[in-house]
Amino acid sequence: MSRVVYLNLIVVLLLLFIVGCGTRPSFDAGSWLGSDPAATSLRASNESTSAMSPAGTNRISIASSKPVDAYVVLGHRIKSCWFNAMDPLLPKHVYLADVSPSGRKVQITIHHKKASGRAGAATYAIFFKQEGPYTVVLTQNRGMPPYLAAKMRYDIERWKRGQSNCNKAMPKPAVPKTAAAPAAR
């Protein structure tokens, strides 16, 4: 083959590569994030102010995704719901993300917003870790008020199941189980 043919082939492959990198594949977030309740494991917390544990570390297993893929989906929802310009859930907080070059270590931290607009003390952390074929999402309350931590945990759980809206509903408080009254004789 001539040099012109090789050159044209290289140009075409280069253009296909560039175009391919600029597109985003579509997918069904519900099946991608895994909706199997058995795939979800939550670590118990000492504090029980809601159905979702607002304090401590929680785990959600996301089926068939890499940490960076889970971060892209959940990070987008977090920014659009908790930090939107019109009605943010966290107007006094800042969103920071840390993604390693390999994409294996991914972390989102929520910080108090200083008067300068910069990040202050971390109040909530979300970690994305690969465990076998799953990505596990760990959350840790580092100082977020319990009602906000419960709402954040509630949203992450909904998004894991495939919902994508910015629901303003708060989680229902956990109802303590009462002991059954002894049967009358």
- pLDDT value at residue 64: 62
The answer to the question of residue 136 being in a domain is yes
**Across 17-21, 62-66, 172-176, least confident range:** 17-21
The answer to the question of residue 23 being in a domain is no
- pLDDT value at residue 99: 92
The answer to the question of residue 181 being in a domain is no
The answer to the question of residue 10 being in a domain is no
46-55 pLDDT per residue, tens: 222 233 333 4
The whole domain housing 111 covers 56-162
Determine phi and psi for 3, rounding to 5 degrees: -65, -35
CATH number at residue 85: 3.30.530
Residue 110 contacts residue 90 (beta carbons within 8 Å): yes
Residue 35 has pLDDT above 50, yes or no: no
The answer to the question of residue 60 being in a domain is yes
The answer to the question of residue 108 being in a domain is yes
- Rounded (10°) angle between helices 146-160 and 67-82: 130
67-92 pLDDT per residue, tens: 998 899 899 999 999 999 898 999 99
- pLDDT value at residue 180: 55
| CA 56/CA 93 separation, integer angstroms | 19
The pTM for the full model equals 0.60
Tokens 């050159």 map to which residue? 7
The answer to the question of residue 147 being in a domain is yes
Q: Which of 153, 6, 31 is nearest to 172 (CA)?
A: 153
Tally the domains of the chain.
1
106-135 pLDDT per residue, tens: 999 999 999 998 999 999 999 998 888 888
Name the average pLDDT for the chain.
73
Q: Is 156 helix (H, G, I), strand (E, B) or coil?
A: helix
- pLDDT value at residue 96: 95
Residue 134 carries which side chain, given as an amino acid letter? Y
- pLDDT value at residue 92: 94
Q: Which of 45, 70, 56, 54 is nearest to 137 (CA)?
A: 70
The answer to the question of residue 127 being in a domain is yes
